[in-house]
Chains A and B, each alone.
Chain A
Amino acid sequence: MNSPSKVPVTILTGFLGSGKTTLLNRILSEEHGKRIAVIENEYGEVGIDQALVINADEEIFEMSNGCICCTVRGDLIRVLGNLMKRRDKFDYILLETTGLADPGPVAQTFFMDDEIASEFSLDGIVTLVDAHHIHQQLGRSQESTEQIAFADVILLNKTDLVKAQDLDALEARLREMNRLARVHRCERANVAIPTVLNLEAFNLDQVLVNHPTFLEPEYPFEWTGVFALTPGSYELSLDDGPDPTMSLVIVEDLEPNEEALQQGAEWCVRRYAEPASRISPENAIPMGQHVELQLQLSGRKSFAIEIEKQTTLALFAQHTAEEFNLSLAVSNNADAPLQTSNASTANPVTLAGLLPVLERTWVAQHEHDDEVSSVAIEADGDVNANKLNAWLAKLLREKGVDIFRMKGFISIAGESQRFVFQGVHMLFDGHPERPWGNDPRHNQLVFIGRNLEGDTMKREFEACLN
């Protein structure tokens, strides 16, 4: 738990040449009102006068009994212990690790040493990735894989050196390995400071506030189109496609900007988890509900959408518009008032239908054979606390060495509050958070680790449900 007086610490990892020093210099030279102390391992890389720069000699040791989870950085305990005495000189710490460092012992230091834990809070782990070279590194080195696995934020740097389609593939591969991390693309580490500092990624109470569903989801939809519409009747039509059905959620009044789109997407992930109502052709599609369009009939099929007031309508569709040649048009049903003339000033009209004001294709899941992957478990309902305890204890005992990060929230039977948790290897931290209120009770758990057996884990978790 973080108290406001604790000094936040951001760990900066990444291979040599990934741009850590560039990012460090960018952060230090920008006006953000913070006084930052930098702890670096690689001597003399940073040449910034105004910053308090301390060199640390990487010393990893086991706290006791040879357990990997009790491995900490002894040098950091000493350096941070000394920095505590100079707290009036700074209010943030950036901790740069060597390119070859395993972030585990660094992160664990903030939980294993009482004195450090009482004065500092781990804010987040930022991993810089050289988009041009990471593919080779991931194949060859355990460290770079671990740096991806531990990250809260992955900065895909040097994107100017890589083709767009390769970037998409790379991003998909990284997301598959670590679905908790936010991925940002950048050139010369040119990211906005709030994307890397004050993330509160390890603060359980912030986890749900920032991201009600914090999974960087493997979105159940592939395409979103936002349309500006005036009142009237519209027709959504589709050709034959790869599947006999297609899931869809329509969101009203979604602002056509990226932030609203992300929020809408998170909301829709929840709707997609609910049972779908089947809608046959020629019927109206209800708003804000998970529906499954029935497309078994051959030929082009139409569904009705009724708009009562001017709105921006977002369609979150299971498949891309191209796959079904999906289009939205003003209805030419004779019973409906003719709207064509004033239908849309915002949407250019084509013969095929209206063009969306904003369109987005979501990164779809791709299969890779990386040994590090994310296992996400989602389930509605309540869990039995005793069963869950027994399962987690067993899981961490047997697989703790291979689990790099975990986060989640759980609905425990008989408890009115969400139980939130997070962990690094076998270190587990959890407590009750805000009340469920009227929200549907469900569970979301993510584990990032090596050689995790996702299906077994899911089955075992489901066995804990009441």
Chain B
Amino acid sequence: MPKLIKNKPYGVLQNGFFAAVDDYPIAGGWGLKGKLFAVGDASGSVHAFDGTSGQEIWKNTEAHVGGIMSLSVSPNGTQLASVGQDGQLTIWNFADGQLQHQTEIASGWVEHVAWSKSGNYLAVSSGRVVTNLSSSGEKIWSSEKHPSTVSALGWVTDQELSTACYGRVTFFNTSSGQENERLEWQGSLVSLALSPDGNIIACGSQDKSVHFWRRSNGQDSMMSGYPWKPSELAFSHDGLLLATGGGEDVTIWSFEGNGPEGTTPGVLEFHQAPVSSLAFSPHQRHLASGCREGGVVVWSVGKKGTGRGLGGAPVSGSVENVYWRPDGRSLAAIDAEGGITVWRVKKI
């Protein structure tokens, strides 16, 4: 077990830099192959920091009126898309913060944004409607109203987009906007994660369970017994492991063999407060977890889902999210006090 030593990272985590923004950081993302790290905050500002030194490279304090809701980095790392409470989608040149496109999506909050895997499309959702746009911000189609607010978005492939809302997951054809499939589940789905091959779609539900479907054979299962709603989900790069939050422990389901049905999940115990963020490293079965009391831990997770701590570090407030640099050699955490903490991750 790692120990969090006062203000010092432990194990594989080594001091990188610390920066801060003036308001609650809502989302972040690495750009330009890890050269820059951008953060959007609750005041509507976007800041970009040098990924090594932490020096602020650019900022725009009027990116959105009334708060950023979500950010997404284009797959090649050159563009940053932001959505906000002002109903706008804005695309920025990641290198210098130049505004490239701005599109009004709705009159209310635009809650989610996600680039497709090729970077050709951008999906956004506002209220009950999901909209697909080209990479230059032109609308291609908008969906009919879902039965309730879209709570999560996920690209299955470049040809297919998925959404979660109360009672169902919906799959849309990217070019036509037609529905390909609906997977129904009587519950309020609050999060969504797709395995890298797009076969498994997992959703956390308000009723403290995780539901997943295998699209190849239609088989689905539910895992329940979480003390909190599992709003954090993450697949490992090879699709073998699904890490889930929903309490102080991280619960990891392994899809090895015929699992996870009939298997016991791995449980990673360390955090003393509910887990608030989870992310697998891009190339290894290394998991970063952050919690509401402000600790980040990196775990090495085996094929069966059991794991051991590799390192950890305290941060200044409740961890909002953690982001691996695309090469997996650095880890960033944004926290409720406005802190942006970046560590170098030792190779093991």
- Known contacts A74-B188, A85-B336; A59 and B229 CB within 8 A of each other: no
Asked if A86 is at the interface of the complex by the 8 Å CB criterion, the answer is: yes
Asked if A75 is at the interface of the complex by the 8 Å CB criterion, the answer is: yes
CB distance from B28 to the nearest CB of A (A): 14
Asked if A64 is at the interface of the complex by the 8 Å CB criterion, the answer is: yes
Cβ-defined contact, A61 with B148, below 8 A:
yes
Cβ-defined contact, B127 with A85, below 8 A:
no
Contacts of B45 in A (CB 8 A): none
0 or 1 for each of A38-68: is its CB under 8 Å from B? (1 = yes) = 0000000000000000010101011110000
Residues 294-348 of B contacting A (Cβ, < 8 Å):
320, 336
Residue of A nearest to B147 (CB): A59
Cβ-defined contact, B166 with A63, below 8 A:
no
Asked if B207 is at the interface of the complex by the 8 Å CB criterion, the answer is: yes
Cβ-defined contact, B148 with A74, below 8 A:
yes
Asked if B67 is at the interface of the complex by the 8 Å CB criterion, the answer is: yes
Contacts of B207 in A (CB 8 A): 63-64
A63 to B224, CA, bound (A): 14
Cβ-defined contact, A78 with B148, below 8 A:
no
Cβ-defined contact, B166 with A74, below 8 A:
yes
A55 to B87, CA, bound (A): 13
0 or 1 for each of A73-85: is its CB under 8 Å from B? (1 = yes) = 0110110001001
Contacts of A57 in B (CB 8 A): 127-128, 149
Asked if B210 is at the interface of the complex by the 8 Å CB criterion, the answer is: no
Residues 252-278 of A contacting B (Cβ, < 8 Å):
none
Cβ-defined contact, B42 with A63, below 8 A:
no
CB distance from B126 to the nearest CB of A (A): 11
Cβ-defined contact, B148 with A59, below 8 A:
yes
Asked if A282 is at the interface of the complex by the 8 Å CB criterion, the answer is: no
Residue of B nearest to A79 (CB): B109
Bin the interface of chain B by size.
20 to 34
Contacts of B42 in A (CB 8 A): 85-86
Residue of A nearest to B227 (CB): A114
Main secondary structure of the interface of B (DSSP, over half): loop
Cβ-defined contact, B24 with A86, below 8 A:
yes
CB distance from B338 to the nearest CB of A (A): 10
Cβ-defined contact, B26 with A59, below 8 A:
no
Residues 103-119 of B contacting A (Cβ, < 8 Å):
108-109, 111
Cβ-defined contact, B336 with A113, below 8 A:
no
Task: Return the contact of B26 from the options A61, A78, A85 (Cβ within 8 A).
Answer: A85
- Known contacts A59-B148, A61-B148; A85 and B228 CB within 8 A of each other: no
Cβ-defined contact, B229 with A115, below 8 A:
yes
Cβ-defined contact, A63 with B228, below 8 A:
no
Task: Return the contact of A113 from the options B167, B187, B229 (Cβ within 8 A).
Answer: B229
Residue of A nearest to B25 (CB): A85
A243 to B48, CA, bound (A): 85
0 or 1 for each of A428-458: is its CB under 8 Å from B? (1 = yes) = 0000000000000000000000000000000
A114 to B246, CA, bound (A): 11
Contacts of A86 in B (CB 8 A): 23-24, 42, 67
Asked if B151 is at the interface of the complex by the 8 Å CB criterion, the answer is: yes
Asked if B206 is at the interface of the complex by the 8 Å CB criterion, the answer is: yes
A74 to B150, CA, bound (A): 11
A55 to B206, CA, bound (A): 22
0 or 1 for each of B253-274: is its CB under 8 Å from A? (1 = yes) = 0000000000000000000001
Most chain A CB within 10 A, of B148, B187, B206, B320, is at B206
Contacts of A78 in B (CB 8 A): 111, 149, 151
CB distance from B337 to the nearest CB of A (A): 11
A114 to B274, CA, bound (A): 11
A146 to B167, CA, bound (A): 27
Contacts of A113 in B (CB 8 A): 206, 229
Cβ-defined contact, B24 with A55, below 8 A:
no
Cβ-defined contact, A55 with B108, below 8 A:
yes
0 or 1 for each of B269-283: is its CB under 8 Å from A? (1 = yes) = 000001000000000
Cβ-defined contact, B188 with A63, below 8 A:
yes
A296 to B205, CA, bound (A): 71
Contacts of B188 in A (CB 8 A): 61, 63, 74
A351 to B26, CA, bound (A): 79
CB distance from B67 to the nearest CB of A (A): 7
Contacts of A114 in B (CB 8 A): 227-229, 274
- Known contacts A85-B24, A86-B42, A86-B67; A59 and B206 CB within 8 A of each other: no
CB distance from A21 to the nearest CB of B (A): 20
CB distance from A304 to the nearest CB of B (A): 68
Cβ-defined contact, A61 with B166, below 8 A:
yes
Contacts of B274 in A (CB 8 A): 114
Contacts of A77 in B (CB 8 A): 206
A77 to B149, CA, bound (A): 12
A55 to B274, CA, bound (A): 29
Contacts of B320 in A (CB 8 A): 85
A86 to B26, CA, bound (A): 10
Cβ-defined contact, B24 with A59, below 8 A:
no
Task: Return the contact of B149 from the options A55, A59, A62, A115 (Cβ within 8 A).
Answer: A59
Cβ-defined contact, B187 with A64, below 8 A:
yes
CB distance from A339 to the nearest CB of B (A): 73
Residues 125-157 of B contacting A (Cβ, < 8 Å):
127-128, 148-149, 151
Contacts of B206 in A (CB 8 A): 61, 63, 72, 74, 77, 113
A293 to B318, CA, bound (A): 67
Contacts of A115 in B (CB 8 A): 228-229
CB distance from B275 to the nearest CB of A (A): 12
Residue of A nearest to B41 (CB): A85
CB distance from A59 to the nearest CB of B (A): 5
Q: List 28 A-B contacts (CB under 8 A).
A: A55-B108, A57-B127, A59-B148, A59-B149, A59-B166, A61-B148, A61-B188, A61-B206, A63-B188, A63-B206, A64-B187, A64-B207, A72-B206, A74-B148, A74-B166, A74-B188, A74-B206, A75-B149, A77-B206, A78-B149, A78-B151, A82-B109, A85-B42, A85-B320, A85-B336, A86-B23, A86-B24, A86-B42
Q: Which A-B residue pairs are the 6 nearest by beta carbons?
A: A85-B24, A64-B207, A59-B148, A61-B166, A86-B42, A85-B42
Q: 11 additional contacts, CB 8 Å, given A78-B149, A82-B69, A115-B228? A: A55-B108, A57-B128, A59-B148, A61-B206, A63-B207, A64-B207, A72-B206, A77-B206, A82-B109, A86-B23, A86-B24
